[in-house]
Amino acid sequence: MTRDMLVRRQPAAGDLRFIMGVIKLVTDLERMGDLSAGIAKGTLYSLESPPRVFSNLDIMSEKVLRQVSRALDAFSRGDVDLALTVIEKDEGIDVLYKRLYREMLTYMVEYPQSISSSIILSNVAKNLERISDHATNIAEMVIYIEQGHDIRHVDHEAAARILAGDDDDDDDE
């Protein structure tokens, strides 16, 4: 069906970027759903032997929820600035995940009886971190759809230069 639409309608650059972006977005949303199912299963399993509550996990989950909401808002409105916000905030979630992971490891060393439940929580945290990464993918696709710049494989500063229209070949400075 997509092929027929492409052949019959011969979409222009912006329309073609939109079609490609939607295909990519659907893949990211499906993966987010898979990761969310893993979180739900881990949560149900952990009810059998309740783990220690790690406050950073609650904070991280709220931030990830905001990331997903922002990414979808950016897509629905074609808002490049909001997409950039999502990309910038992903690093903070990565930092939270690393901090939480270290905290869990320390806790498991001190309380070996908690290893099973802590591993489940660690997997929940990793799934949250990956969901944030998929929200970032959506934000990057918004930028591609709206401006035609593929910033997926460049660092944040290089992406800012590209979006500002600066020449990104000036690496000699």
Domain ranges of the chain: 2-150
Q: What was the pLDDT predicted at 166?
A: 66
What's domain 2-150's superfamily in CATH? Phosphate transport system protein phou homolog 2; domain 2 (1.20.58.220)
Determine the 3-state secondary structure of 122 from DSSP: helix
Whether 171 shows a pLDDT value over 60: the answer reads no
Give the tens place of pLDDT for each residue, 117-132.
888 889 999 999 999 9
**Whole-structure pTM value:** 0.81
Within 8 A by CB and 6+ apart from 72, the residues are: 138
Whether 168 shows a pLDDT value over 60: the answer reads no
Helices 156-164 + 115-147 axis angle, to 10: 20
Q: Which residue has the higher pLDDT, 65 or 21?
A: 65
Q: Which residue has the higher pLDDT, 114 or 141?
A: 141
Give the tens place of pLDDT for each residue, 52-107.
667 788 899 999 999 999 999 999 999 999 999 999 999 999 999 999 999 889 88
Which range has the worst mean pLDDT, 101-115, 120-134, 139-153, 154-168? 154-168
**What distance in Å separates the CA atoms of residue 116 and residue 124, rounded to the nearest whole number?**
13
> Please, are residues 88 and 160 in contact by the beta-carbon 8 Å criterion?
no
Determine the 3-state secondary structure of 36 from DSSP: helix
Confidence of residue 113 (pLDDT cuts 50, 70, 90): confident
Average pLDDT over residues 5-17: 68
Q: What was the pLDDT predicted at 25?
A: 93
Whether 5 shows a pLDDT value over 90: the answer reads no
Confidence of residue 169 (pLDDT cuts 50, 70, 90): very low
